[in-house]
Chains A and B, each alone.
Chain A
Protein backbone atom coordinates (compact mmCIF):
# COMPACT_ATOMS: atom_id res chain seq x y z
CA UNK A 1 0.00 0.00 0.00
CA UNK A 2 1.19 3.51 -0.64
CA UNK A 3 2.12 5.67 2.31
CA UNK A 4 2.16 8.95 0.46
CA UNK A 5 -0.45 10.30 -1.89
CA UNK A 6 0.41 13.21 -4.13
CA UNK A 7 -1.99 15.84 -5.27
CA UNK A 8 -2.54 16.80 -8.03
CA UNK A 9 -1.78 13.76 -10.17
CA UNK A 10 -0.85 16.04 -13.05
CA UNK A 11 0.05 19.71 -13.40
CA UNK A 12 0.60 21.84 -16.48
CA UNK A 13 2.16 25.30 -16.17
CA UNK A 14 3.96 27.91 -18.25
CA UNK A 15 7.69 28.44 -17.94
CA UNK A 16 8.42 30.98 -15.21
CA UNK A 17 5.38 30.08 -13.13
CA UNK A 18 5.54 28.33 -9.78
CA UNK A 19 4.51 24.70 -9.38
CA UNK A 20 3.09 23.40 -6.12
CA UNK A 21 2.33 19.81 -5.31
CA UNK A 22 1.18 18.19 -2.09
CA UNK A 23 1.77 14.90 -0.37
CA UNK A 24 -0.25 13.29 2.40
CA UNK A 25 0.84 10.28 4.41
CA UNK A 26 -0.75 8.02 6.97
CA UNK A 27 1.66 6.95 9.70
CA UNK A 28 4.39 8.50 11.82
CA UNK A 29 7.55 9.26 9.91
CA UNK A 30 11.19 9.87 10.59
CA UNK A 31 11.66 11.98 7.50
CA UNK A 32 10.00 12.78 4.19
CA UNK A 33 11.87 12.96 0.90
CA UNK A 34 11.08 14.27 -2.56
CA UNK A 35 12.38 12.71 -5.76
CA UNK A 36 12.21 13.63 -9.44
CA UNK A 37 11.94 11.16 -12.29
CA UNK A 38 12.46 12.12 -15.89
CA UNK A 39 10.56 10.02 -18.39
CA UNK A 40 11.65 6.38 -18.34
CA UNK A 41 14.63 7.00 -16.09
CA UNK A 42 15.63 6.43 -12.48
CA UNK A 43 14.70 8.70 -9.60
CA UNK A 44 16.86 11.56 -8.41
CA UNK A 45 16.84 12.63 -4.78
CA UNK A 46 15.89 16.31 -4.43
CA UNK A 47 15.45 17.15 -0.78
CA UNK A 48 14.90 15.57 2.62
CA UNK A 49 13.02 17.12 5.52
CA UNK A 50 13.16 15.66 9.01
CA UNK A 51 10.06 15.21 11.12
CA UNK A 52 11.18 17.98 13.48
CA UNK A 53 11.64 20.49 10.63
CA UNK A 54 8.88 22.64 9.17
CA UNK A 55 10.47 24.11 6.07
CA UNK A 56 13.53 23.53 3.95
CA UNK A 57 14.99 25.20 0.87
CA UNK A 58 17.29 23.97 -1.85
CA UNK A 59 17.83 26.30 -4.80
CA UNK A 60 14.43 26.85 -6.42
CA UNK A 61 12.81 24.17 -4.27
CA UNK A 62 10.91 24.79 -1.06
CA UNK A 63 9.50 21.97 1.01
CA UNK A 64 7.17 22.29 3.96
CA UNK A 65 6.13 19.64 6.42
CA UNK A 66 3.12 19.67 8.72
CA UNK A 67 3.25 16.57 10.91
CA UNK A 68 -0.04 17.43 12.63
CA UNK A 69 -1.79 17.19 9.26
CA UNK A 70 0.54 14.47 7.97
CA UNK A 71 1.22 16.46 4.84
CA UNK A 72 4.04 18.05 2.90
CA UNK A 73 4.27 20.37 -0.06
CA UNK A 74 6.91 20.90 -2.72
CA UNK A 75 7.14 24.28 -4.42
CA UNK A 76 9.25 24.80 -7.52
CA UNK A 77 9.71 28.49 -8.19
CA UNK A 78 10.36 30.07 -11.58
CA UNK A 79 9.87 26.78 -13.37
CA UNK A 80 11.84 25.82 -16.47
CA UNK A 81 11.10 23.39 -19.28
CA UNK A 82 13.79 21.12 -17.78
CA UNK A 83 11.62 20.76 -14.66
CA UNK A 84 9.19 18.66 -16.68
CA UNK A 85 9.18 15.34 -14.83
CA UNK A 86 7.27 13.26 -12.30
CA UNK A 87 7.75 14.17 -8.67
CA UNK A 88 7.38 11.66 -5.84
CA UNK A 89 7.24 12.02 -2.11
CA UNK A 90 8.54 9.16 0.02
CA UNK A 91 8.61 8.46 3.72
CA UNK A 92 10.63 6.23 5.99
CA UNK A 93 8.25 4.20 8.08
CA UNK A 94 10.40 3.11 10.98
CA UNK A 95 13.33 3.85 13.23
CA UNK A 96 15.54 0.81 12.91
CA UNK A 97 19.22 1.61 13.12
CA UNK A 98 20.09 -0.96 10.46
CA UNK A 99 18.19 0.82 7.76
CA UNK A 100 14.73 1.73 6.66
CA UNK A 101 12.74 1.26 3.54
CA UNK A 102 11.19 4.16 1.68
CA UNK A 103 7.53 4.06 0.77
CA UNK A 104 6.56 6.13 -2.25
CA UNK A 105 3.45 7.95 -3.30
CA UNK A 106 1.95 7.76 -6.75
CA UNK A 107 3.64 10.90 -8.03
CA UNK A 108 2.68 14.19 -9.67
CA UNK A 109 3.40 14.60 -13.37
CA UNK A 110 4.53 18.15 -14.07
CA UNK A 111 4.61 19.62 -17.57
CA UNK A 112 6.32 22.97 -17.99
CA UNK A 113 5.45 24.54 -21.32
CA UNK A 114 7.98 26.90 -22.92
Chain B
Protein backbone atom coordinates (compact mmCIF):
# COMPACT_ATOMS: atom_id res chain seq x y z
CA UNK B 1 0.00 0.00 0.00
CA UNK B 2 1.14 3.50 -0.79
CA UNK B 3 1.81 5.45 2.32
CA UNK B 4 1.86 9.16 2.85
CA UNK B 5 3.08 9.92 6.34
CA UNK B 6 2.74 13.23 8.09
CA UNK B 7 5.16 13.60 10.95
CA UNK B 8 2.75 14.94 13.56
CA UNK B 9 -0.89 14.20 14.22
CA UNK B 10 -1.37 17.17 16.55
CA UNK B 11 0.84 20.22 16.98
CA UNK B 12 0.58 23.30 19.19
CA UNK B 13 2.81 26.27 18.41
CA UNK B 14 3.12 29.84 19.59
CA UNK B 15 2.45 32.92 17.50
CA UNK B 16 5.61 33.99 15.67
CA UNK B 17 7.28 30.59 15.75
CA UNK B 18 8.66 29.03 12.58
CA UNK B 19 6.82 25.78 12.01
CA UNK B 20 7.81 22.82 9.85
CA UNK B 21 5.24 20.26 8.74
CA UNK B 22 6.79 17.19 7.19
CA UNK B 23 5.31 14.80 4.67
CA UNK B 24 6.96 11.64 3.35
CA UNK B 25 5.68 9.23 0.71
CA UNK B 26 7.15 5.84 -0.04
CA UNK B 27 6.00 5.16 -3.60
CA UNK B 28 8.22 7.37 -5.76
CA UNK B 29 5.41 9.79 -6.57
CA UNK B 30 6.47 12.85 -8.53
CA UNK B 31 3.63 15.15 -7.52
CA UNK B 32 3.06 16.26 -3.94
CA UNK B 33 0.55 18.71 -2.49
CA UNK B 34 -0.24 20.62 0.67
CA UNK B 35 -3.85 21.52 1.50
CA UNK B 36 -5.43 23.09 4.51
CA UNK B 37 -8.96 22.26 5.59
CA UNK B 38 -11.20 24.61 7.53
CA UNK B 39 -14.88 24.33 8.46
CA UNK B 40 -17.04 26.04 5.87
CA UNK B 41 -14.11 26.60 3.52
CA UNK B 42 -13.33 23.04 2.48
CA UNK B 43 -9.89 22.04 1.24
CA UNK B 44 -7.72 24.77 -0.20
CA UNK B 45 -4.44 24.21 -1.99
CA UNK B 46 -1.43 25.94 -0.46
CA UNK B 47 1.48 24.70 -2.59
CA UNK B 48 2.30 21.81 -4.84
CA UNK B 49 5.39 20.30 -6.40
CA UNK B 50 5.74 18.52 -9.72
CA UNK B 51 9.12 17.05 -8.92
CA UNK B 52 12.24 17.53 -6.85
CA UNK B 53 13.13 21.18 -6.31
CA UNK B 54 10.06 22.27 -8.25
CA UNK B 55 7.21 24.09 -6.57
CA UNK B 56 4.19 26.05 -7.58
CA UNK B 57 1.85 28.26 -5.60
CA UNK B 58 -1.65 27.10 -4.98
CA UNK B 59 -4.66 29.21 -4.07
CA UNK B 60 -3.53 30.44 -0.65
CA UNK B 61 0.30 30.52 -0.47
CA UNK B 62 0.62 33.66 1.64
CA UNK B 63 2.44 33.04 4.89
CA UNK B 64 3.75 29.65 3.74
CA UNK B 65 6.74 28.28 1.89
CA UNK B 66 7.72 24.75 0.87
CA UNK B 67 10.80 22.66 0.34
CA UNK B 68 11.27 19.59 -1.88
CA UNK B 69 14.93 18.58 -1.69
CA UNK B 70 14.23 14.87 -2.06
CA UNK B 71 11.52 13.18 -4.05
CA UNK B 72 9.93 11.45 -1.09
CA UNK B 73 9.73 14.49 1.19
CA UNK B 74 7.67 17.67 0.89
CA UNK B 75 7.88 20.14 3.74
CA UNK B 76 5.48 22.96 4.49
CA UNK B 77 6.95 25.90 6.37
CA UNK B 78 5.05 28.53 8.28
CA UNK B 79 7.57 31.35 8.40
CA UNK B 80 5.96 33.11 11.36
CA UNK B 81 2.93 31.25 12.67
CA UNK B 82 -0.23 33.23 13.25
CA UNK B 83 -3.52 32.27 14.87
CA UNK B 84 -5.31 32.32 11.51
CA UNK B 85 -3.09 29.43 10.44
CA UNK B 86 -4.74 27.18 12.98
CA UNK B 87 -6.12 24.45 10.76
CA UNK B 88 -5.97 20.84 9.61
CA UNK B 89 -3.11 20.40 7.13
CA UNK B 90 -3.28 17.57 4.62
CA UNK B 91 -0.47 16.31 2.43
CA UNK B 92 -1.12 14.28 -0.72
CA UNK B 93 0.86 12.69 -3.53
CA UNK B 94 0.27 11.06 -6.91
CA UNK B 95 2.12 9.53 -9.83
CA UNK B 96 2.74 11.83 -12.75
CA UNK B 97 3.82 9.20 -15.24
CA UNK B 98 0.55 7.31 -15.00
CA UNK B 99 -1.12 10.28 -16.54
CA UNK B 100 -3.84 12.57 -15.38
CA UNK B 101 -6.36 9.89 -14.55
CA UNK B 102 -5.01 8.80 -11.23
CA UNK B 103 -6.21 9.65 -7.77
CA UNK B 104 -4.32 11.25 -4.92
CA UNK B 105 -3.11 9.46 -1.81
CA UNK B 106 -3.53 11.54 1.33
CA UNK B 107 -1.78 11.49 4.66
CA UNK B 108 -3.75 11.38 7.91
CA UNK B 109 -3.42 15.10 8.48
CA UNK B 110 -1.77 17.37 11.04
CA UNK B 111 -4.04 19.42 13.24
CA UNK B 112 -2.09 22.58 14.01
CA UNK B 113 -3.12 25.00 16.72
CA UNK B 114 -1.35 28.35 16.97
CA UNK B 115 -1.77 30.06 20.32
Contacts and interface: CB of A to CB of B under 8 A. Distances in A.
Interface of A: 1-2, 30-31, 33, 35, 40-45, 48, 50, 88, 92, 95, 98-107
B43 to A, nearest CB: 4
Interface stretch (B13-21, B67-75, B76-84, B98-106): B98-106
Given A48-B101, A107-B42, A98 B96 contact: yes
A111 B54 CA distance: 41
B86 interface: no
A43 B104 CA distance: 9
20 contacts: A1-B59, A30-B100, A33-B104, A41-B108, A42-B4, A42-B90, A42-B107, A48-B102, A98-B96, A99-B31, A99-B50, A99-B94, A100-B100, A101-B33, A101-B45, A102-B45, A104-B35, A105-B42, A106-B41, A107-B42
Nearest to A100: B100
Given A98-B50, A99-B31, A99-B48, A42 B100 contact: no
Nearest to B59: A1
Q: Which of B58, B90, B101 is most buried by chain A, counting CB atoms within 10 A of its CB?
A: B101
Interface residues of B, number: 31
Contacts of B90: 42-43
Contacts of B92: 43, 102
Given A1-B59, A42-B109, A99-B50, A48 B103 contact: yes
A43 B94 CA distance: 13
Contact of A43 (B59, B100, B102, B106): B106
A95 B50 contact: no
A30 B4 CA distance: 25
A31 B101 contact: yes
Contact of A41 (B43, B94, B109): B109
Contact of B42 (A40, A42, A98, A104): A104
